Each structure stands twice: as C-alpha cells, then as structure tokens.
C-alpha cells in the first residue's frame, strides 16, 4: 500500500491528466474536417486588416470568384472589404493561385501556407481553392463570422497545410417532402455544408405527403401534390426557376445537387395528383400522416412509365450532376418480381436521359446497370449485405448512410423533442466514431463513393429545426468523409468540435448543445 505522500502525488497526476484532457491543446487549430497534413509552424501569425489584398492571377475568373466568397466572410458593415487584385503587391497579402506542384491532390485538394509575411493558397482546380478558403476561414477567430461586429485585426496562426479528401461523395440529404423548405432555407443549408467541405446535397423531392418539383406538362403534380405536408400545413413546391436557382447556388459552392423522386413507393402525393398512376384509376386523398410503405404507383400501366420518363427528363435537363435518384425504399405493396420489373425499367429511363441511377439499398436486389449507386441505409440487415455485395461485384458502387449512425432525424439523446427513435439514438459520438470500410461486409474502399447524412423531416418543420438536428453531428460526418482513416479519435475530435460552438453562435446556427461535447461558455472570440 503506497504511503500518503505517494497517494497525494498519484492524485495530483490524475487531476493534471483530467484537466489537460478537458482543455484543447492551445496551439492546434480546431479544423474540421482535419486535413491530410497540418503543420503548426509557430512564430508570428498572419494578421488580416481591412486592407489586406486578395491576389489572383490575371484572367483567372474562377479564382476571382472564389476570392469573392472569402471577401463575403471578411466583409463587415463598417470596416469594408478586402480588395481583390491581380497585381503582385509588397503588402502582406493572400494569394489564390490555380496551380499546383502536386498532381496527387486532385481537383478538391489544395496547399495552404500561412506566415507573417503572407498567405499562399494553391490548388489544381477551383474546388481546391474553395476548400482551402474554408480552411483559412476556420483558422480565423470565430468572430469573423459576424457580419456587423468590428472584429479586426484577425490573426491567423502560421501553418503549412496539404490536403485532399478521402471520399468523393460527402453529402447531406434534406427531405423537403414531409415538410417543405423554401429556396432561402436550402441556400442556408448549402452555406453550412460548404463550411465543412461537403459536396453533395441530395434533395428528397417527393413522398407520400408532398410532390415538390414542377414538371412542365404535368401541373397537377404540384397543384395537388404540393398543396400540403405532414400535419396539414401549406406545403409548397419549387418552380423550375426555383430549382435552377438552388442548383446554381449550390454549384457556386461546389455542392452538386442529387435530385430524388421516390418510386415506386412513397408516392401517395403523385397518386393523389395523377389518377392514371393508380391501377384502379382512382386518386387517393392527400396524406398528411407519417406512416410509410402503404403506397405504390401501378407498375402494370404504360402511363406510369410515361410519367417516369417525363419526370426524369425534366430533372436530368436541369441537373448538372451525373446522378438522378429514384428512391426504391419501403415498397410493401408490391411483390418482389413487380418491384424488380419496375426498377429495371426506371433505371433504363435514367440512363436514357444521360444520367446515372441511384437507389436506396432495396434496389440492390435488382440487376443494376454498371455506374449505378446503391445508398445503404440498413447496414444492420444481413440480407442487405449480400445483395449489396452482389451489386458491387456487378459494377455498382455504394454511398453509406447507416441509419444507426448518421440519420440526423434520429434523436441525438432522449432530451430531444424533435426527431424519431426507430433506429435508436444517434449521438454525436455515434455519428463520428465509425469507419465506412467494413460497414457492409465485403465491400472494399474502392466501391465506396462516400457518405451522406439523411435528414428526414417528419418532425422537423423549420430551418432552425434543420440546424438543430444537423449540428453538431453533420460536422462529424464531414470528417468521416474527408479526413484520413488513421488518426481519427473521438477523444481528440470532441475537443476540436467544442471550438466550433462559438463559430456557430456567430453564424446564428441553432445547434444542439450536446452534453457529449465540452462547449466553451461565454462570448465569441
């Protein structure tokens, strides 16, 4: 038994260790997602003033546009905004150069060098410049996110960063069918996604409770299908120009929109709008509850495939991305052979319109054309594993959306009023502390396009509710999608994550103050 002095020394050591763990390392910048390589050089920081020039190469219009997005972050009401210039200058400046000595960093990679003398950001392509700007932004004190506060000077620690993403598909899904969200709400979601280098916005545009996208030539779909939503509210829909505006806003921030029209199930809104989609020709009443699995279009009618063709043609024409998602989940009303026949014809229609087919993992039971993507949401089902492995062996690839990890509509803990619990509680650690490779037995990293966090909106009605369900958990999904597998650890990440609370406060994000995270108290530095 050690003597009293030994016990005291042991206690002191334990106290020191615990206090050290609760405080972040003072020098390490709290970047999310963690870059591939980050070196804190030390020495004096680079200091932004209201006159710090942003330098781009003459004629590099995309670099100038990306610099403009940085200007919007730095602009304050009375201190003006930094000038974007093309001439080299002796003033300490920020240079954004579309050039790279590293061809292994890809279109989204970049190198960022910060010293007291200046900042140099190089990337082979505009997306890399944009992601380097997000890293530079996160190196600045959180107060930079205020639009009116006087927040200069802004010191940025001297670092050397070399970075590129692990996975190409880093996404969030927003269900705009259960509850409708207007264009400005979607733009807000894109802004917050871009800060964390997410690059796919999957819009769930139709379901039992709503049809949300105008299809010229079929006005009933939105006149009837867009009329309501869960709970009987006013619903709504995107006109073609609304959808074009969302796609453009997202593309400017290097986010690709993946439109989903869910078929053959989850279709009560379409069935209520277009009688000929019903096998008996009779349209059901609009539905504002939250049951699933009870609806299906009539797979025996040619009118159904003409409808699918009209919808896919319209979506394909307005979607610059390669993918059109046709759902395929929870079809409890069709025999498997009818389901397979429908999915086979539906995916052929997608390919005919020059796009690649995406479906929820039920479609893995059907022979899929090469280039198809299976969105895995039920990893815990052994059957899914077998079907998905077979689809992958036939050339399909997967996006992982494990419902027991990153379904953002699952309550994060029992204190949450918003959200559902059928897949269990998805806490902040659950959403971060998992590894995509091995999620589905036998699916290699080369077949994994990436990860995507769905936010279903049965119980989510406003953009603040969206923020509350998405943050802080979406930041963890972004790191799973971007950062190297090695080195990720919840104990380290949670301290870094805590430092993003003040940034979200300055941005006005209505985030969930999870007790899993040691959020700093007080104002915003």
Residues that bind ligand IFG (CB under 6 A): 292, 329-330, 360, 377, 407, 409, 420, 456
| Choice between 456 and 493, CB closer to ligand IFG | 456
Give phi and psi for 299, each to the nearest 5: -80, -5
CB 297 within 8 A of CB 284: no
Element spanning 73, H or E = helix 61-74
Buried b (16+ CB within 10 A) or exposed e, 362-399: bbbbbebeebbbbbbbbbeeeebbebbbebbeeebbbb
- Closest CB to ligand IFG among 131 and 456? 456
Minimum distance of ligand IFG from residue 375's CB (angstroms): 8
Q: Can you tell me the distance from the alpha carbon of 84 to that of 140, in angstroms, rounded to the nearest whole number?
A: 19
* Shorter beta-carbon distance to ligand IFG: residue 231 or 518: 231
Mode of pairing for the β-strands spanning 256-260 and 200-204: parallel
507 vs 512: CA distance, rounded Å: 14
**φ, ψ dihedrals at 202, nearest 5°:** -90, 115
- Shortest Cβ 96–ligand IFG spacing (Å): 40
- Min separation Cβ 11 and ligand IFG, Å: 47
CB of 407 to ligand IFG, least distance (A): 6
**Shortest distance, position 290 Cβ to ligand IFG, whole Å:** 7
Q: How far is the CB of 503 from ligand IFG (least distance, A)?
A: 29
What DSSP line would sit under 228-277, residue for residue? --GGG-----B-HHHHHHHHHHHHHTT-EEEEE---SBS-HHHHHH-GGG
Q: How far apart are the first and last CA of the chain?
A: 48
User: Do 327 and 262 form a contact (C-beta atoms < 8 A)?
Assistant: yes
Nearer to ligand IFG, 198 or 358 (CB): 358
Q: Which residues neighbour 7 within 8 Å (Cβ) at sequence distance 6 or greater? A: none
In the sheet with 118-122, reading across from the earlier edge strand, the strands are 37-40, 159-163, 110-115, 118-122, 94-97, 54-56, 84-85
What is the C-alpha to C-alpha distance for residues 121 and 322, in angstroms, rounded to an integer?
A: 29
Q: CB 168 → ligand IFG: shortest distance, Å? A: 22
Give the C-alpha separation, 383 to 252, whole Å. 40
Tell me how far, at minimum, the Cβ of 456 lies from ligand IFG, in Å: 4
Q: Which of 330, 479, 492, 525 is catalytic?
A: 330
Instruction: Give the residue with the Cβ less far from ligand IFG, 73 or 420.
Output: 420
Please state whether 118 falls in left (phi above 0), alpha (psi between -120 and 50) or beta.
left
Separation of alpha carbons 420 and 404, rounded Å: 12
Q: Which is nearer to ligand IFG, 267 or 499 (CB)?
A: 267
- Give the H/E segment covering residue 345: helix 336-352
Helix axes 240-252, 183-195, angle to 10 degrees: 20
Is 330 noted as a catalytic residue in this protein? Answer: yes
Active site residues: 330
């Amino acid at each position: 038994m050690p003597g009293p002095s030994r016990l005291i020394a042991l206690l002191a050591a334990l106290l020191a260790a615990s206090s050290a763990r609760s405080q972040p390392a003072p020098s390490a910048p709290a970047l999310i997602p963690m870059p591939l390589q980050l070196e804190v050089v030390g020495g004096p920081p680079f200091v932004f003033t209201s006159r710090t020039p942003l330098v781009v190469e003459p004629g590099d219009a995309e670099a100038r546009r990306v610099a403009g997005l940085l200007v919007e972050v730095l602009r304050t009401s009375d201190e003006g905004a930094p000038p974007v210039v093309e001439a080299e200058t002796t003033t300490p400046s920020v240079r954004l150069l579309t050039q790279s000595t590293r061809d292994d960093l890809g279109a989204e990679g970049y190198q960022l060098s910060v010293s007291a003398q200046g900042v140099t950001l190089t990337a082979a392509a505009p997306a890399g410049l944009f992601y380097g700007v997000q890293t530079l932004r996160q190196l600045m004190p959180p107060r930079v996110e205020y639009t009116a506060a006087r927040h200069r000077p802004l010191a940025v620690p001297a670092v050397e960063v070399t970075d590129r993403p692990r996975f190409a598909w880093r996404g969030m899904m927003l269900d705009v069918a259960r509850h409708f969200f207007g264009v400005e709400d979607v733009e807000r979601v894109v802004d917050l996604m871009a800060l964390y280098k997410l690059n796919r916005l999957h819009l769930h545009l139709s379901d039992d409770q709503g049809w949300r996208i105008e299809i010229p030539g079929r006005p009933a779909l939105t006149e009837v299908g867009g009329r309501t939503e869960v709970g009987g509210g006013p619903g709504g829909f995107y006109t073609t120009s609304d959808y074009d505006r969302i796609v453009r806003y997202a593309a400017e921030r290097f986010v690709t929109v993946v439109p989903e029209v869910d078929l053959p199930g989850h279709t009560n809104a379409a069935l209520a709008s277009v009688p000929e989609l019903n096998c008996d020709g009779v349209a059901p009443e609009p539905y504002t509850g939250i049951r699933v699995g009870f609806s299906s279009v009539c797979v025996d009618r040619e009118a159904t495939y003409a409808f699918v063709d009209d919808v896919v043609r319209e979506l394909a024409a307005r979607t610059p991305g390669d993918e059109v998602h046709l759902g395929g989940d929870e079809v409890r009303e069709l025999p498997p052979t009818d389901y397979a026949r429908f999915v086979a014809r539906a995916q052929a229609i997608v390919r005919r319109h020059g796009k690649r087919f995406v479906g929820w993992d039920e479609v893995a039971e059907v022979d899929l054309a090469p280039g198809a993507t299976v969105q895995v949401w039920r990893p815990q089902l052994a059957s899914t594993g077998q079907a998905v492995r077979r689809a992958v062996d036939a050339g399909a690839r997967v996006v992982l959306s494990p419902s027991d990890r990153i379904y953002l509509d699952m309550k994060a803990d029992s204190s949450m009023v918003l959200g559902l619990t059928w897949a269990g509680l998805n806490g902040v650690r659950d959403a971060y502390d998992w590894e995509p490779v091995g999620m589905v037995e036998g699916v290699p990293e080369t077949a994994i396009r990436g990860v995507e966090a769905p936010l279903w909106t049965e119980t989510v009605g406003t953009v603040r509710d969206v923020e509350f369900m998405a943050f802080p958990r979406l930041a963890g999904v972004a790191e799973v999608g971007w950062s190297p597998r090695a080195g990720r650890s919840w104990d380290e990440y949670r301290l870094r994550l805590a430092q993003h609370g003040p940034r979200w406060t300055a941005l006005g994000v209505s985030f969930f103050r999870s007790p899993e995270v040691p959020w700093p108290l007080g104002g915003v530095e």
